[in-house]
Amino acid sequence: MRTRLLREAQPRELRALLDEEAAHWHTELGWDFSEVRAAVSGGIERGTLPGRVATEGARAVAYCYYMVDPARVIVGSIFATRARRGQGLEEELVDAVIEDARAERGSGRVECQTLFCTASSADARFERKGFASRARHYMRRELAAAVPEPGPLPPGIVLRPLRREDLTAAAEIIYKSHQHSVDAALNMTYATPVTCRAFVETLVVRSGCGQFDAEASRFAEGPWGPLGVLIASRLSRANGHLCQVSISPEAQGRGLGTALVARALGSFRAHGLASATLSVTASNGRAHCLYERLGFGVERAFAAHAWARPPAQIELHA
């Protein structure tokens, strides 16, 4: 067995591994990975996707890739074939990829969320390399059971479908709701109104986290303006996903989050979906309790990691 740069690998070496990965995440997470697989495969064919691959003969048995953005490097899948999991391959790849990512020109920050990792022990390698880390949960709710009816909303507040012209306001809500949060410290997506707007457009316009579900997505507004947003998608034919649920700080505690999620679940259920999923930082007690109250349970534990090149540092607020 040997480990080498992903750019040096031939597409045929990884074809079976990528097929196995797509099937694995569809089963484990209810996530149709075909578009991600196609993008990864295309990067490998062009020789432009950075990362590492472990091979036995002419067959890849594990790989890890990363993407270089202008402000950060994002580590993607850390995947090993079933027969090679739990044997230290994922940890070895993480160690190598972290060093590669830090060596990228202009790389002042590296981030990773290990939802798509086949070894939970790999999380410790990020912490050992100086990353700030927090636990996250991937939660699932089966939709066979009825969705609880939310309580009445305060007078003047309405929930309506999310429209394209709402995207700037939605981004502002997401930004305000994440200020000084653990999520904002670990994920540059929430760092500024501009990055939040790019994130919203990725979800809605480019379907960056499954196919955008316009019927399940909702926008909350009141007499004093926009108050909340829920962006939903379809991760597969049977599974709906809550990509983002955000309430403006001044409107929190009024039942808007419960109402938005309940409406989305009702839409998923009305369209025959079998389940709904979401991810949340484990220490976000208010959100976690809301999701549990609406029938979600923890399906998978993973972690968010971030590293900044000194003298910059990641500050995690309580």
Tokens 């981004």 — which residue?
A: 171
156 backbone dihedrals φ, ψ, rounded to 5°: 90, -10
> Roughly what angle, to the nearest 10 degrees, separates helices 193-204 and 167-178?
120
> And the tokens for 258?
């419960």
Task: Return all residues near 253 (Cβ < 8 A) that are at least 6 apart.
Answer: none
pLDDT in tens, the chain (318 residues): 899 999 999 999 999 999 999 999 999 999 999 999 999 999 999 999 999 999 999 999 999 999 999 899 999 999 999 999 999 999 999 999 999 999 998 889 999 999 999 999 999 999 999 999 999 999 999 999 999 888 889 899 999 999 999 999 999 999 999 999 999 999 999 999 999 999 999 999 998 999 999 999 999 999 989 999 999 999 999 999 999 999 999 999 999 999 999 999 999 999 999 999 999 999 999 999 999 999 999 999 999 999 999 999 999 875
Residues of the chain with CATH 3.40.630.30: 2-130, 141-299
Joined together, the tokens standing for residue 12 give: 């045929």
What is this structure's pTM?
Answer: 0.96
Domain range 141-299, CATH class: alpha beta
Give residue-wise pLDDT tens across range 147-174.
Answer: 988 888 989 999 999 999 999 999 999 9
DSSP 118: S
Distance, CA of 293 to CA of 56 (rounded, Å)? 47
The structure tokens 């502002």 sit at: 172
In angstroms, the Cα distances linking 20 to 26, 76, 134, 308 are 10, 16, 28, 33
Decide if domain 2-130 falls under CATH 3.40.630.30: yes
pLDDT tens for residues 112-131? 999 999 999 999 999 999 99
What is the rounded CA–CA span in Å between residue 242 and residue 251? 20
